[in-house]
Amino acid sequence: MNARSLLCCLALLAIPPIAQAAAPVQQIQSRLAKPTVMCGRFDQTKQLTGIKKPLQSHGRFCVLKGRGILWQTLQPFPGTLRITRDAIVQIQDGRIAMKLDAQQEPVVKMINSVLFSLLAGDLSQLETLFELDGSLRDGHWQVALKARQPALAKAIGDISLAGASYVDKVSMQEASGDRTEISFSAIKTGEGAMTAEEGALFD
């Protein structure tokens, strides 16, 4: 899977919305934690159109507020993406294998903005790029996102988020028919959440 596809997967994916009145974005926003450092496990499943067996991967992610996102795939193949507001960098064997500059790639810039808002728990910022339809029940929420801009809609399709204090699941239905789902678990925050090796990858 290439870096942009993986980024789109991380960026977003979907769960069926529950049938009830829409909850204001502000109400859901108030339930989201906003830690300075957050790390955990991700499990990703991508179902490609025309292929019966889905592609599965898992690994670890870290979000460092104001610095960026680290997305480390462990299985089936090791690889690391470092995502900042300026660029997406793919790291293989300790070396930069690929770099997408957000200033030269408008879609990359939009996706980066979505990622930072999503993992920082800032749904209000997502409203600038998406129409949001949310629902809330028993402390758990779901939000469906529909891109306002055609370029973003083409890049990532329809998105759904679900969670409580953190975003637990993301789903994306692409225009091609491909579908990606990611779940986040074992989340830790604060001092000790990130290893020294992971911190060094932000330097």
Give the model confidence (pLDDT) of 58-110 as tens digits: 999 998 887 888 999 999 988 898 888 788 888 887 788 888 887 777 666 66
Q: 68-75 and 37-47 as β-strands: parallel, antiparallel, unpaired? A: unpaired
* DSSP code, position 54: P
Instruction: Name 167's bridge partners.
Output: 163
| Residue 10 scores a pLDDT above 60 | no
| Residue 8 scores a pLDDT above 50 | no
| Residue 28 scores a pLDDT above 50 | yes
> Hey, what amino acid is at 100?
L
Q: Which residue has the higher pLDDT, 57 or 84?
A: 57
Helix pair angle (106-119, 3-11), 10° resolution: 40
Q: CB neighbours of 162 closer than 8 A, spacing ≥ 6?
A: 15, 140, 141, 142, 143, 168, 169
pLDDT for position 12: 36
The closest alpha carbon to 24, from 123, 170, 151, belongs to 123
Pairwise CA distance, residues 68 & 38, whole Å: 11
pLDDT for position 185: 93
Report if pTM > 0.95: no
pLDDT for position 194: 93
- The 10 Å Cβ neighbour count of residue 5 is 14
Please count the residues of the chain.
Answer: 203
